[in-house]
Structure formats: structure tokens, C-alpha cells
Copies of this chain bind each other. A is one copy, B any other.
Amino acid sequence: MTTGSPGTQGGESLLFLTDEQLRKGIEAMFFAYRAFTADPDRILENYEYGRAHHRAIHFINRQPGLTVNTLLTMLGVTKQSLNRVLRTLVEDGLVEARVGRKDKRERNLFLTTKGAELERELSDAQRARMRSAYRAAGPAAVAGFRQVLEAMMDPEIRRHYQSIRDTNS
């Protein structure tokens, strides 16, 4: 499993595949992800919601009308876990669950005005950090960033990821 010393690889620049480089990448993921969630987490403390609510709100905003099952796949949690979150959001009037038009077993999820407001507050904070990082690193770095992250995803999820289209503005 362990990559040997770079010199033994024969290639010109496989230096970026050394264990040390990979470990730095692992640490970068850990630290960056922590920062990435910190801003919305701080906001959520003011409400009685957690990170799970944020994730649900994010994807409902991105794909208005998506079904519970689709959301389940995107979030990668059990329906019991999601249901607890979704129930409070519906009760509090942030999310509307409409019975499916074609298939009445399905529920199509939408943000209410109030839900969209919270989404905006959360994503403003998260985008501010992302924008600042993007700006500091530049367009070429951003392209690389996206490429590596995509390559890291599980294939099925990657398809979901790529299929999300801009539905707003």
C-alpha cells in the first residue's frame, strides 16, 4: 500500500503522490472542512437547529420539489434520521411537503419564504468564506480544487453532484 520513495518510481514528477503529500492532503481536508462548517454552525446556534437541518435546507433550495427519497440519497443518512430533521422544519414552517402530483406517495419538498430566509443567511456566511478562499487562490486553483474533490467522491454520488443545476437567480 505504501508508496516507496519517489526516486524509485522512475517517473519525472510523481512527487505529488508521496505518502507525505497524501497526508498533507488528508490534514488539509480535515482543517478546511472544519472551517467550512464553522460559520453556519455559529448561526445555527441562535436557532434550535443543527448541521443536519442546514444540509436539508441547502439541498431543498438547490432542487425545489425534490422527493424525500432523493434527499435521503444525497444526504446519505437513514430516513429516520432525516425524518426527525424534516419534521421540525415542516412544523416550524420552513419547509413545505406537498403530496406528489403524479405519484401521491411521494412528498415534494419546498422552502417557504421563511425557509428561504434562513437558507440565505446560512449560505451567505458559507459562500463568503468560499469566495474569499477562491479569490485568494485564483481560478486555476479553483478548477484543480473541484477536480480533486470530484475524483474523491463515490461514483454514484458524483453523478448526483454533477446533475445539480442552477435553479435560482
A45 sits at the interface (CB 8 A): no
CB distance from A131 to the nearest CB of B (A): 6
Copies of this chain held together in the complex: 2
Query: Is the pair A124, B2 in contact by a Cβ cutoff of 8 Å?
Result: yes
Interface size bracket, A side: 35 or more
Kindly specify which of A12-20, A83-91, A97-105, A108-116 makes contact with the partner chain.
A12-20
Query: Is the pair A142, B31 in contact by a Cβ cutoff of 8 Å?
Result: no
> In the complex, A134→B35 CA distance in Å?
22
Residues of B within 8 A of A138 (CB): 147
Binding site for B on A (CB under 8 A): 1-3, 5, 13, 15-17, 19-36, 38, 55, 58, 62, 76, 123-124, 126-154, 157-158, 160-161, 164, 166, 168-169
> In the complex, A123→B30 CA distance in Å?
13
Query: Is the pair A29, B36 in contact by a Cβ cutoff of 8 Å?
Result: yes
CB distance from A129 to the nearest CB of B (A): 6
